[in-house]
Amino acid sequence: MIRFVQYSVGLLLVATLWVGGTPHSAQAQTMDDTPRAFLLFHKLEYVPGPAERPVELEATSWIGGDINRLWLRGEGEASTIRREGDVEAEALYGRLVSPFFDAVAGARVDRRWGDGGDTRGFLAVGLQGLAPYQFEVEPTLYVSHEGDVSAQFAASYHVLFTQRLKLESELETKVALQEVPEWGVGTGVNDLGLGVRLRYEFHRKVAPYVGYDHSWAFGETADFAGGDASSGAFVFGVRLWR
């Protein structure tokens, strides 16, 4: 938990330093080459159901212009009961290659603490953007520092009930070519996660939500997990950005 807080605070500090530098210049005739910074806490939530009662975080940040950007993507969870948790953090160079898609490439670091704390690194390449019919998609290919190859696909979709009440559905799945038992990864399709979050945008940048996540683990991955191959939980959180 303490580590989780440290990582979160670290991410916040870095992002705030960037965002704080937003220039207020009345000098340039246009501001089309002004670098900007964005930070979105897509998920900042408490999950009361499971035994670990984790808090979870998922954040995206970028700095740069319209075409070239440095992207930071991170997610993690930490138990509120025991000193354990994990974080995945990515730093990627992204370039807008079509009106709706960035190609990204960079590195990812996974770190977990508690029993059997460990760290591993990856190279990452992928795409992120808006597919036809307004699906946000994010396919990424990873090669770990030990040569293990895996891929991850995430997609999300928004439905507007009102101008402020929005339902976001998402899907996430992972595939691996090699098994990595120490990280609970089997070959083939690892898992599938589906989630819905109903948020209310009191302010565009501050939106509390309730949601439900369900995930299924498959094959060896399910065996490594040892417990139920399927689990679901309600989540309570807030979506923030600046």
Partner 1 sequence: MPTDDASPESPPAAPSWTESPADEAAPAPLNRRDFLRSTGAFAVLMGAQTLLPTWAHASGSAPAGGLTALGPTRRAGRRVEYDITIDRTPFEVAGKRATAITMNGTVPGPLIRLQEGEEVVLRYHNALDEETSIHWHGLLLPNRFDGVPQVNYPGVPPGETFEAGPFEVRQYGTYWYHSHSGLQEQLGHYGPLVIDPAEGTPFEYDREHVVVLSDWAHDDPYQILANLKKGEHYYNFQQQTVGEFWSDVSEEGFWDTLKNRLGWDRMRMSATDLSAVRAPTYTYLLNGQAPGANWTGLFTPGERVRLRVINASAASIFDVRVPGLEMDVVQVSGQNVEPVATDEFRIGTAERYDVIVEPTDDRAYTVFAESLDRSGYARGTLAPREGMDGPVPELRERPTLTMAAMGMGGMGEGDMEDMKQGGMDGMSERDHGDMDHGDRSGDMSGSMGGGDGDGLRPPGTLPEPVMHDPDETHGPAEAGLPMMTQSRLHEPGIGLGDDGWRVLTYDQLKAADEKDAFRAPDREIELHLTGNMERFMWGLNGVEFSDADPIRVEHDERVRLTMVNDTMMNHPMHLHGQFMELENGHGERAPLLDTITVKPAERVSLLIDGHEKGPWFFHCHILYHMDAGMARVFYVEPAPESDNEFYYDQVT
Using CB under 8 A as the criterion, which residues of the chain lie in contact with partner 1 when the complex forms? 22, 24-33, 36, 38, 66-67, 96-100, 130-134, 159-164, 204, 241
Q: How far is 50 from 124, CA to CA, in rounded Å?
A: 31
Beta-bridge partner residues of 217 = 191
**Cα 192 to chain centroid, rounded:** 15
Comparing CB distances to partner 1, the nearer of 158 and 214 is 158
Quick check: 147 and 127 in contact, CB under 8 A?
no
Q: How far is the CB of 43 from partner 1 (least distance, A)?
A: 16
Comparing CB distances to partner 1, the nearer of 120 and 242 is 242
Q: How far is 14 from 128, CA to CA, in rounded Å?
A: 23
Comparing CB distances to partner 1, the nearer of 32 and 115 is 32
Q: How far is the CB of 130 from partner 1 (least distance, A)?
A: 5
Q: How far is the CB of 209 from partner 1 (least distance, A)?
A: 15
Comparing CB distances to partner 1, the nearer of 130 and 149 is 130
Q: How far is the CB of 173 from partner 1 (least distance, A)?
A: 23
Comparing CB distances to partner 1, the nearer of 7 and 62 is 62
Q: How far is 94 from 61, CA to CA, in rounded Å?
A: 12
Q: How far is the CB of 132 from partner 1 (least distance, A)?
A: 5
CA angle 126/204/40 to nearest 5° reads: 30
User: In residues, how long is the chain?
Assistant: 242
Q: How far is 213 from 193, CA to CA, in rounded Å?
A: 7
Return the structure tokens found at 155: 């997609």
**How far does the chain reach from its first CA to its final CA, in angstroms?**
25
